[in-house]
Homo-oligomer: A and B are copies of this chain.
Amino acid sequence: MAKNTARTTPKPSTANGLKTARTTLRRKPDRGAHDFETIAAILDAGLVCHVGFAVDGQPYVVPTAYGRDGETLYIHGSSASRMLKTLAQGVPVCVTVTLFDGLVLARSTFHNSVNYHSVMVLGVAREATGDEKLHGLRTITEHLLPHRWEDSRPPTAQEMKASTVLKLSIEEASAKVRTGPPIEDEEDLSLPHWAGVLPFALVPQTPIPDAHVPEGTDAPAYVARYARPS
């Protein structure tokens, strides 16, 4: 999607961007990136993130919607949810976004792999309140489906109360990317097995109106022509 990238003015504080000891890739560092533009583009292209947090020493990984505005990542949920309650206390969190791009098929099982783009953001989430809370909700909605916020009823005061919005600063983060064909041992290249990549794409299908949309009503263009830029 990369739809939000243009809005931002990234200012990484060092040549290494958002790299810290905790986000430095120890293996295959050539697959890693710490520059803000790469990280932002992957975050903008994803639809769902996986949020990791621990309760009593047990890690939990929960999928949820998110949105990015500049260097801030927003997630939200019911004020009653365990995840939101836990995170609002200010505990360490990891938010990971993964784009699955394809299967990499090598002639040797050992060199089979997966093509993907992924981002890991570490930090402590804080609750967004007041105007920023509404802004966070809008950012999440517009991330999932640009133009939808204007074409729906805004939240009431009671609905705002029932939602918790958390923000996480994209300060400590890393991207990991694998693209391209399999990398094989020289002596395997003459084996008779087919090798290459089977790409995958997450493709929007035909919109399904609910039972209350008047018959013959077309889905709006921003729904019907939803496209997932690479």
Q: Residues of A with Cβ closer than 8 Å to B?
A: 22, 26-27, 47-48, 50-54, 57-63, 65, 78, 80-82, 92-96, 98, 100, 102-103, 105-110, 112, 114, 116, 118, 120, 122, 137, 141, 144-145, 148-149, 151-156, 159, 162-163, 181-182, 184, 188-191, 193-213, 217, 219-220, 223, 226
B199 and A202 within 8 A (CB) = no
Task: With A22-B58, A110-B162, A197-B207 given, name 11 new contacts (CB 8 A).
Answer: A26-B82, A47-B200, A52-B94, A65-B114, A100-B202, A105-B148, A109-B152, A181-B210, A198-B219, A198-B226, A199-B206
Kindly provide the distance from the CB of A20 to the nearest chain B CB, expressed in whole angstroms: 11
| Contact present for A58 and B195 (CB under 8 Å) | no
Instruction: Choose from B54, B100, B193, B223 the contact partner of A194 (Cβ within 8 Å).
Output: B223
